[in-house]
Amino acid sequence: MATYLLKRLLLALPVLWLLATGIFLLSRLLPGAYGSESILQEGNGYYAKSAASDRQQAYQAYLQRTGQHLPLFYFSITSRAAMPDSVLQRIPEAEQRDVQQLAWRTGNWQSAYRFWQSINQLQHTLTPAQLKKTGPSVQVLLSGGAISQKHVALQALAQQFPTKPEINCLQQAFKGLQKQQFTYSYLLPSFHWHGKDNQYHHWITKLFTGDFGNSYRDSRPVTEVLLEACFNTLWITLISMLLTTLAALLLSIKLLQSKYNTWRRILMSLLFLTDSIPLFVLALCLLVLFASPEFLQLFPVYGLGYGRVGQSWLEQLQQVLPYLLLPILCLSLAHLPYLVSQFLRALTEAKAMDFTRTAKAKGLSEEKIIWRHVLRNALLPIITLLSDFLPALIAGTVVIEAIFAIPGMGRLLVSAVQARDYPVIVAIVLIVALAKVLSHLLADLFYALSDPRIRSQTS
């Protein structure tokens, strides 16, 4: 048995590694980032009133500090006309697309980048009034339009500033842009080897030591951020899972008995009605009914109250339990109908087997037959259901914690997605994936404990 579990664990490790790699790469390939939103955008954050050059310098320093200036992976396969990420990051995000289009159009990203540098240098020498006057011509030069349109705009700038040396540099860069036109070069692939100095290598080596990196928002270690939020989610998830499983199992056993046929029809109808209510609607209904002064104000509305320094974990649990009861009740009610219907179906199929007729012929009561024989033979499908129940509960806490304002993993995930804090997002998704893998390992263990035939095959 131990050998079998060890073998399953070893098989799960590559799966976790592939999941971690896929989540990391997908998070980095998504458009938008915390730095570009909070630093480069005008009117946002600490750098709202800074000049464009100052914001760009702050953005480059931020990329260096967080390691985002490095290549993404060990290698990359791109078009020969595509601009490398390390070069593209030096360009403001609002202009990256136009410069990349110019590189694709001309077939040479070096010439396109030098042309953008010349335009940028010219803009730094102009006064605000001159920038406003030359704005249309500069926009044509920066856009991904035709080369002929850029030639006309460049001539207009040369007539306005005939003595500026930056105009001469811009004209030279434009000539280089005209010489390096290979229309179909974007069809040719280009392989780039980046070595170990890349974002993925640094991240995966830290991950093996339990280090998820630092948050993009406040530069705090992600592990520290997760530890602050995980305990509230852990209490909600485990208590909800225990209560829902016990309630579903007891209800299924009672409803399976013939004397409760009338109650079975009534209760299954009520459970079907509850199952049709979305989770967030159910949470709002419970808030109105049990946390509103207009009805029954039995529970606090939101949050976890105020803690005291030096409290033990038992005192902390006693303080936050009134705040957690309503979210736990909401999660339990949301998942109870599905578990009851599935448990009842598994028990009904087991009850229809031949051994139940044999036990009944021996004179055993219906309740004893269910507890001693039917339940044991229905354990395998029940264990399968419970192995998928834990990840479903974790997904439900995202909605619950957002509605009840509980500082847990779900609320942290929502705020991290809104801020594009990818290290925190990746860490939370990995924890959910790890919970999924561990639940399947526990399911294998309980399979062997509940069925001697499986135990003999694995030993």
Mean pLDDT of 337-354: 87
Q: What is the pLDDT of residue 247?
A: 92
How many of the other CB atoms lie within 10 Å of CB of 101? 14
For 78-91, write each residue's pLDDT tens digit. 766 677 777 777 77
- DSSP-based three-state secondary structure for 78: strand
In angstroms, the CA 317 to CA 328 distance is 14
User: Residue 328 to residues 230, 300, 321, 331, 442: CA-CA distances in angstroms?
Assistant: 15, 13, 10, 5, 23
Mean pLDDT of 85-111: 77
- φ/ψ region of 32 (left if φ > 0, alpha if ψ in -120 to 50, else beta) reads left
Q: What is the distance, to the nearest Å, from the Cα of residue 89 to the centroid of all Cα atoms in its chain?
A: 24
Please tell me the pTM assigned to this model: 0.75
Please check the confidence at residue 176 and state whether its pLDDT lies above 70.
yes
CB distance 71 to 198 below 8 Å = yes
Please check the confidence at residue 243 and state whether its pLDDT lies above 80.
yes
Please check the confidence at residue 455 and state whether its pLDDT lies above 80.
no
Torsion of CA 432, 437, 442, 445, to 10 degrees: 180
In angstroms, the CA 275 to CA 269 distance is 10
How many of the other CB atoms lie within 10 Å of CB of 155? 12
CATH 1.10.3720.10 maps onto the chain at 222-458
* Of 47-61, 86-100, 197-211, 333-347, the least confident: 47-61
For 372-389, write each residue's pLDDT tens digit. 878 887 888 888 888 777
Tell me which fold the domain 222-458 belongs to.
Answer: MetI-like fold (1.10.3720)
For 141-166, write each residue's pLDDT tens digit. 877 667 778 888 888 888 888 888 88
For 414-440, write each residue's pLDDT tens digit. 888 888 888 998 898 888 888 888 888
Closest CA to 207 of 26, 13, 75: 13
Mean pLDDT of 326-355: 87
Q: Mean pLDDT score of the chain, rounded to an integer?
A: 80
The two tokens of residue 314 are 């038992």
